[in-house]
């Protein structure tokens, strides 16, 4: 079996011993993966033919074959460029594919009248998923290179002129200003890190800082109908914690009936399956979809 025959798509091939082996458009990448620490590699033969390997200690990629600057992979109809970074990332998180599909499949029919907010937006796949369905989008990320990459991604997807606001900003500060302005969004997406630092150097800790951010975001959601997507990658916060918080606050903030809440929520784990159909965990997701019956 030629694993490079996966062609233009993405595939997790194998994982174990703290690393994962992936095919991006037929290019084989060997990268660190903490979720694979306690697992064993099932296909050690495949690891001999990697094109690129990332060393986290040296923050360095080793390329055994030349990297093509025009390498791209399509996810849910979204074209994403693949490029190595000093942090071992490549510009896209494939485990988010079900969420991109959800954003597209559940988009409001009158997309042009709806606004979406993407926080911790990285290179913008979620922004593009909303924009492709006609929504206006605010794309917020604290890293200037990520926002610049998002512009490139929009152009690759024919959305260079689409109403997307590209904002280099701290997510919590931006949301607080939007609350004061009285702005509303139909859809809010956030994929906050477990820890990090904002542009001003202030430390971010998911278990401490997620809750006030979510509280402010609820003030931005349209009470007539909204979607909320929260993903996370920290053992300190689980999907059930987020669901419990939303259950306790949505009725107060947006008059969502408590008895209706469970039917509005989808929660679970993001996973990737390797060639042996083993699941590699990649964090939690919580999705909420609400449509008011009030005219």
| DSSP state letters, the chain | --GGGGTTSEEEEEEETTEEEEEETTEEEEEE-GGGTT---S-GGGGGG-SEEEETTTTEEEESSPPPTT-EEEETTEEEE----TTS--S--GGGHHHHHHHHHT--SSGGG-EEEEES-TT-HHHHHHHHTT-EEEEEES-HHHHHHHHHHHHHTT-TTS-EEEEES-HHHHHHHHHHHT--BSEEEE---SEEE-TT--EEEHHHHHHHHHHHHHHHB-TTEEEEEEEE--TTS-HHHHHHHHHHHHHHHH---GGGHHHHEEEEEEEEE-TT-PEEEEEEEEEEEEE-S--
151 phi/psi in degrees, rounded to 5:
-60, -40
Residue 5's pLDDT band (cuts 50, 70, 90): very low
CB atoms closer than 10 angstroms to residue 281: 15
User: pLDDT-derived band of residue 227, with 50, 70 and 90 as boundaries?
Assistant: very high
Query: Residue 1 pLDDT more than 50?
Result: no
Nearest CA among 265, 255, 254 for reference residue 287: 265
Share of the chain above pLDDT 90, in %: 85
The pLDDT of residue 2 is above 50: no
Q: Is 218 exposed, middle or buried, given 0-12, 13-18 or 19+ CB atoms closer than 10 A?
A: buried
Helix axes 144-156, 125-132, angle to 10 degrees: 40
In this predicted model, what pLDDT tens digit does every residue of 20-56 receive, in sequence order?
999 999 999 999 999 999 999 999 999 999 999 999 9
Nearest to 185 by CA among 226, 125, 128: 226
Average pLDDT of the segment spanning 170-176: 96
C-alpha separations of 136 from 8, 58, 143, 164, 262 in Å: 29, 40, 21, 6, 29
The token pair at 112 is 């042009």
**Structure tokens given for 153:** 């991604």
Residue 196 pLDDT grade (very low, low, confident, very high; cuts 50, 70, 90): confident
Euclidean distance between CA atoms 117 and 267, whole angstroms: 20
Phi and psi at residue 88, in whole multiples of 5°?
85, 0
Is the pLDDT score of 77 beyond 90?
yes
């Amino acid at each position: 079996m030629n694993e490079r025959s996966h062609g233009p798509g993405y595939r997790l091939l194998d994982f174990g011993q703290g690393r994962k082996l992936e095919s991006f458009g037929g290019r084989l990448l060997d990268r660190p993966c903490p979720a694979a620490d306690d697992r064993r590699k099932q296909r050690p033969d495949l690891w001999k033919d990697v094109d690129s390997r990332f060393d986290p200690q040296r923050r360095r990629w080793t390329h055994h074959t030349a990297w093509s600057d025009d390498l791209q992979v399509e996810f849910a109809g979204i074209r994403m460029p693949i490029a190595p970074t000093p942090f071992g990332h490549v510009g896209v998180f494939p485990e988010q594919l079900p969420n991109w599909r959800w954003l597209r499949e559940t988009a409001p029919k009158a997309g042009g009248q709806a606004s979406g907010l993407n926080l911790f937006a990285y290179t913008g796949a979620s922004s593009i998923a909303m924009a492709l369905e006609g929504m206006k989008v605010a794309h917020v990320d604290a890293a200037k290179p990520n926002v610049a990459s998002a512009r490139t991604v929009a152009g690759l997807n024919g959305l260079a002129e689409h109403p997307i606001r590209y904002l280099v900003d701290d997510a919590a500060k931006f949301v607080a200003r939007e609350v004061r302005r009285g702005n509303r969004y139909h859809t809010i997406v956030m994929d906050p890190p477990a820890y990090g630092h904002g542009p001003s150097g202030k430390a971010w800790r998911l278990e401490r800082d997620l809750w006030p951010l979510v509280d402010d975001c609820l003030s931005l959601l349209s009470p007539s109908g909204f979607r909320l997507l929260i993903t996370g990658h920290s053992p300190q916060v689980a999907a059930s914690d987020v669901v419990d918080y939303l259950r306790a606050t949505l009725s107060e903030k947006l008059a969502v009936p408590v008895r209706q809440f469970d039917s509005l929520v989808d929660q679970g784990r993001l996973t990737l399956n390797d060639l042996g159909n083993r699941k590699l965990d990649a964090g939690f997701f919580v999705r909420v979809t609400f449509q008011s019956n009030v005219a």
